[in-house]
Structure 1
Amino acid sequence: MSPESQHVTLADLQRWFSIERMDTYINSAQATGCDAVDLYVWNGRVSKALLEDVAHVEVLLRNFMSVRLAQACGHDDWYKDDARFRFNSSKTRRFENSVDEIERQLRHAGKPVTPGRVIADMSLGSWCFLLSSRLEQTVWRALRDPANGGMPNYPSCKRAVFESHVKTMGDLRNRLSHQEHIVLDDLVSEQRYLDEQCANLDWIARVIDPKAADWIRSQSRVTMVRAQRP
């Protein structure tokens, strides 16, 4: 008997994944009139589809920021230019420490320590930090400076608004990466939440590059998977 043809019950999922975890899906299934097992499967699929979109937007964001910061200081390892960007305060050297840890792990893995590898290994939290208010006069100024490429698709150039959108993406990424549920007891609230998250990802991509936003949307599986909700 193939795995696909095996009959799996709610009791099986409770045994495998815990009663507490499955309670969320039982409650939502009862409220929205569907099967809890089907809903659990769908939640996993829509989560993975969303993660694909998040991945595209996250890489787009870090490339956009890295290119402009490198242009501002004239070298690819811009993350070491504390004199220009003032990443580290006297109280904390969190950013510098995170870069040092990335370089240490690269060396431990026997990989060359290059700007491309360091930048690729920076966490989304690090990119959010670079958008914080304490770096508005250094990092943000460099990002919006037309001499470095600027932000022609974001005329208002409001840092706090941009940061808020990126933080929202970070919250979604964390939720999905930790296998938290997307389903809610109220279907209207669930659909609104998904609409808002998709719109947020599109907003970030669009203010960076509308063509990239269109491509990401064209490749997205989210709309298709959402239509398959039990």
Structure 2
Amino acid sequence: MPQQPFQPSSAGPWVESWLSAPRFRSYLTAAGGDRDRALALYEWNSELSAALLHDLGHFEIALRNAYAAALDAGWQGAEHWLDDPGSPLRAPLPRTKRGGPRGTRQVDVNEKLRRSIDAARARYGRQAPPGKIMADLSLGVWRYLSSSAHEKTLWVPFLHRAFPPGTNRTEVDRKIGDLHQLRNRAAHWEPVLAEPVALRMADLGTLCGMLVPELADYLRARSRVDTLLRNRPRRDA
């Protein structure tokens, strides 16, 4: 039997059974209560999220490889910087953390980094090449290497080399942090309706241009994000 085309009037209560009422409500609100348009908006959000993950994935790989190259060029430890106890990614890095339910306390900023690396080593074994371990680390790992806590141990001696001379660490860290947050929303298929997507993509282009100038041009030629932003379902559609 040939498949019947989907009719707009079919956007009935089954949608809440699929998405949940709270999730669909975000789209209903944005669509002025029109269920058909809300479903179209959800589909558009899904397509936009997929397009964002495409572009952000290219950026993540560029950032990972640029940071790895900068560390390879400067690290002189006995073991690889992923594994050496004295590596700036592994050595204890105490910082004072204020606020929260536990109040002021000392934390080791590198604890999560060590756990992430060790978990990858446990999956692939001690003999796995560094590239295998690096590929297993999430954007959340690379994102925090430019934080203020790592300025003296990572940025100044190593990571600034991944960027043009005079690059401001604070600006780089802010842009990467914003992109990381957007990536997390897209990866979990959360609404990006209110996100400044065009601004974030401009930041992504700037960062890619710093890391690999040709990558920025490559992404502009192949990204679907701008096209999707121009074709967002409207209330008067």
Q: TM-score range by the shorter chain?
A: 0.7 to 0.9
How many pairs does the alignment contain? 214
Whether contact under 8 Å (1:88, 1:95) holds in the other structure is no
Match of 1:52 in 2: 54
Whether contact under 8 Å (1:88, 1:94) holds in the other structure is no
Whether contact under 8 Å (2:56, 2:183) holds in the other structure is yes
1:204 Cα deviation after fit: 1.4
Q: Deviations over 1:60-81 (max 9, x none)?
A: 1111101110111258932224
User: Does residue 182 of structure 2 align to residue 172 of structure 1?
Assistant: yes
Deviates more, 1:68-77 or 1:36-45: 68-77
More helix by share: 1
Whether contact under 8 Å (1:86, 1:135) holds in the other structure is no
Whether contact under 8 Å (1:50, 1:222) holds in the other structure is yes
Match of 1:85 in 2: 88
Is there any run of 5+ residues in structure 1 with no aligned partner, and where? 185-189
Residue correspondence of structure 1 range 1-230 to structure 2 within 5 A: 5-7=5-7, 8-30=10-32, 35-73=37-75, 77-85=80-88, 87-89=90-92, 91-92=107-108, 93-107=111-125, 113-141=128-156, 142-145=158-161, 150-152=162-164, 155-184=165-194, 193-230=196-233
Whether contact under 8 Å (1:87, 1:135) holds in the other structure is no
1:86 Cα deviation after fit: 5.9
Question: CA RMSD, aligned part only?
Answer: 2.6
1:19 Cα deviation after fit: 1.3
Report the identity percentage: 29
Separation of aligned partners in 1, 2:117 and 2:230: 42
Q: Deviations over 1:201-220 (max 9, x none)?
A: 11211121221111112110
Q: 1:4 to 1:130 in 2, by over 3 A?
A: farther
Give the letter for the 1:164 counterpart: R
1:82 Cα deviation after fit: 4.3
Separation of aligned partners in 2, 1:220 and 1:17: 27
Give the letter for the 1:6 counterpart: F
1:171 Cα deviation after fit: 0.3
Whether contact under 8 Å (2:28, 2:35) holds in the other structure is no
Structure ranking higher on relative contact order (CA contacts 8 Å, 6+ apart): 1
Deviates more, 1:127-136 or 1:85-94: 85-94
Is there any run of 5+ residues in structure 2 with no aligned partner, and where? 95-106
Whether contact under 8 Å (1:99, 1:118) holds in the other structure is yes
Q: Deviations over 1:168-226 (max 9, x none)?
A: 11100111111110224xxxxx6xx1211111211211121221111112110112222
Give the letter for the 1:104 counterpart: A
Q: 1:130 to 1:2 in 2, by over 3 A?
A: farther
Match of 1:187 in 2: none
